[in-house]
Amino acid sequence: MNSRLSLSRARGATLGIAALLCVTTACGDDDALPVQNQTPIISAPLAMSVLGRGNLVDRYTAEVYAHGNFAYTTTWGRRGALQTTGNTFYVWDVSGVLPVLSDSVLAGTDVTTIGDVAVSDDGKLLVVPTELVPGSVLIYDLTNPAKPLLLSRYTSPSITRGVHTCEVARVNGTLYAFLSVNRSATLSKLEIVDLSDPTAPRSVLVRDMGNPFIHDVFVRDGRLFTALWDDGLVVWDIGGGGKGGSVSDPVEIGRIRTVGGQVHNAWWYQDRSTGSKKYVFVGQEGGGSIGAASSGDIHVVDISNPAAPTEVAFLNIEAGGTHNFSVDEANGFLYAAYYNAGVQVVDVRGDLGTCNADARSSDGRCDLKKAGRHHAEGLRSAGMPVYIWGVHYLNGFVYASDMLNGLWKLQGYTR
């Protein structure tokens, strides 16, 4: 067990015993001085153990996805005196302590940004969306995960502006790609593509949504969660929500506009310790100056009644804003990319909607920091500026893509 976690537990237990002794003493002695209300002591978050970094500075790094012994990172924008374009994604061998660059793959000379990457649940396909004009989705075969092999390039009139994010998920046995396309001359839209034959992807849905953006989606158990910015989080039935919906005809189950809007991403959490499936974690991207500043909270939404979701908790990190998440559901830790604030770790096991008065904000939500659930942070004091775009938890490790520096590998937490 992590020695720092043990120390934290010991500290907490000591406080608890001290509190119990105080109460007991007060109750048992009529002449005792009244116990003064004490401000709860909120422990500072632990410092994540940083194992090392795979250096990459000739391009800005964007998203990360880890699978098996490899991690895949994408690139963004233009960088350096050569204005090197974000048209390449990288393959890293992460089997050792440090990420080691294994290969680089040119996505296309007409590509300027690759904002996302995903691997299918069976590990057979790597899916890479491209921006800007002309947008596309590249599908690679991962029979040799160190050498992705291009199978097809999907284009459609709906995605010419560029595909901002692309999630890959299986619904009722069929593999789909969910493409989020942001507004330009046309409205933001979601396109869903059938990947049954990865050499010939087939569009099954194009639907306008987003206010003004659709930034990302999350798919699980026949439900689709769309992050629609100021239209909030919307829950859809696409085959498992009991509303008769399907991938080609999603039916809305419910929606919520979280505090502040700017809904950027979501994760439907399934707590393996309790079996609870009632929480969706929502990321708010509050805008900032890329490379230097960010803003936006993590919001916890209770979907016990999916037709009427309610926001029950939030996490605010000073001078930082959340971007993408990865959740270790077995241990109940949420790892969040926090741009200039590095990586933030939240203890999400158990009841997040119940807290004492000290941890409850004026609007009734639980402040997860005051509730002692801000478990750890990493890279914020790395000795260099960081701007963490994405994180991916895998097999006890956290891989963090840093726009400015490359790919970090950190130690995850266990119970």
Partner 1 sequence: MVLVCVPALAMAQEHAHRMDDSTKGISFGGMAVVLVTQVDPAVRGTTLREAYLSQPMFMLQARSPNERIAARVTWNLEGAVMRRGELTPGIYGEGYIDRRHPHTALHEAMLVAQHALRGAMLSVSAGKGIVPFGSDDPMMRPFQKFPVNHHIAQILERAVVIGAARYGIVALEGSLFNGDEPESPGDTPNVDRFADSWSARASLAPLAGLETTVSIARVTSPEDAEGKGLNQRKVHAAARYETAATRGVQYMLVEYGHTGEYRRTRKAWDFSTTLVEAGGALGPVRFALRFERTTRPDEERTEGDFRSFRPLLDFSILGRSRWDAGAVNLSTQKRIGAQLAITPFLEIGLSRVRPTVLPTTFVPADFYGASRLWAVSAGMRLHAGQMPARMGRYGAGRTSPAQDH
In the complex with partner 1, the residue whose CB is nearer, 371 or 404, is: 404
Out of 123, 350, 364, 385, which residue is the one contacting partner 1 (CB under 8 A)?
385
Size of the site for partner 1 (CB under 8 A): 33
> Nearest-CA neighbor of 54 among 97, 99, 104, 103?
99
Using rule CB under 8 A, residue 95 touches partner 1? no
- Bridge partner residues of 377 (DSSP): 47, 344
Q: Give the side-chain half-sphere CA count within 13 A for 247.
A: 24
In the complex with partner 1, the residue whose CB is nearer, 68 or 291, is: 291
Using rule CB under 8 A, residue 291 touches partner 1? yes
73-81, 274-282, 341-349, 370-378 -> range binding partner 1 (CB under 8 A)? 73-81
Residue 47 has φ and ψ, to the nearest 5°, of: -95, 120
Name the DSSP letter for residue 217. E
Out of 403, 407, 408, 410, which residue is the one contacting partner 1 (CB under 8 A)?
403
**Least distance in Å: CB of 49 to partner 1?**
25
16-24, 140-148, 245-253, 288-296 -> range binding partner 1 (CB under 8 A)? 288-296
Which value, to the nearest 10 degrees, does the dihedral of the CA atoms of residues 35, 36, 40, 44 take?
Answer: -100
Instruction: List binders of partner 1 among 103-142 (CB under 8 A).
Output: 132-133
**Least distance in Å: CB of 301 to partner 1?**
21
**Least distance in Å: CB of 316 to partner 1?**
13
> What size, in residues, is the chain?
415
**Residue 208 identity (one-letter amino acid):** D
Token pair, residue 299, equals 């919001």
**Under a CB-based contact definition with an 8 Å cutoff, are residues 12 and 50 in contact?**
no
Question: In whole angstroms, what is the distance from residue 88 CA to residue 112 CA?
Answer: 9
Instruction: List binders of partner 1 among 168-187 (CB under 8 A).
Output: 182-184
Out of 404, 409, 410, 413, which residue is the one contacting partner 1 (CB under 8 A)?
404
Question: In whole angstroms, what is the distance from residue 228 CA to residue 351 CA?
Answer: 26
In the complex with partner 1, the residue whose CB is nearer, 261 or 372, is: 261
Integer CA distances (angstroms), 5 to 11, 186, 239, 399, in order: 10, 50, 41, 20
Residues 241-280, one symbol each (x = binds partner 1 by CB under 8 A, - = not), give: ---------------------x-x----------------
30-38, 152-160, 284-292, 364-372 -> range binding partner 1 (CB under 8 A)? 284-292
E strand residue ranges, 303-355:
310-315, 325-328, 333-337, 343-347
Question: In whole angstroms, what is the distance from residue 213 CA to residue 225 CA?
Answer: 14
Using rule CB under 8 A, residue 79 touches partner 1? yes
Question: In whole angstroms, what is the distance from residue 250 CA to residue 211 CA?
Answer: 18
E strand residue ranges, 351-415:
366-367, 374-378, 388-394, 397-402, 406-411
Name the DSSP letter for residue 122. T
12-20, 28-36, 80-88, 121-129 -> range binding partner 1 (CB under 8 A)? 80-88
In the complex with partner 1, the residue whose CB is nearer, 39 or 83, is: 83
**Least distance in Å: CB of 82 to partner 1?**
8
Token pair, residue 302, equals 């209770």
**Least distance in Å: CB of 295 to partner 1?**
8
In the complex with partner 1, the residue whose CB is nearer, 58 or 221, is: 58
Name the DSSP letter for residue 240. S
Token pair, residue 307, equals 């037709």
Instruction: List binders of partner 1 among 38-67 (CB under 8 A).
Output: 60
Out of 387, 389, 393, 413, which residue is the one contacting partner 1 (CB under 8 A)?
387
In the complex with partner 1, the residue whose CB is nearer, 96 or 385, is: 385
**Which stretches of the chain bind partner 1, using CB under 8 A?**
60, 77-81, 83, 132-133, 182-184, 211-213, 215, 230, 262, 264, 285-293, 295, 385, 387, 403-404
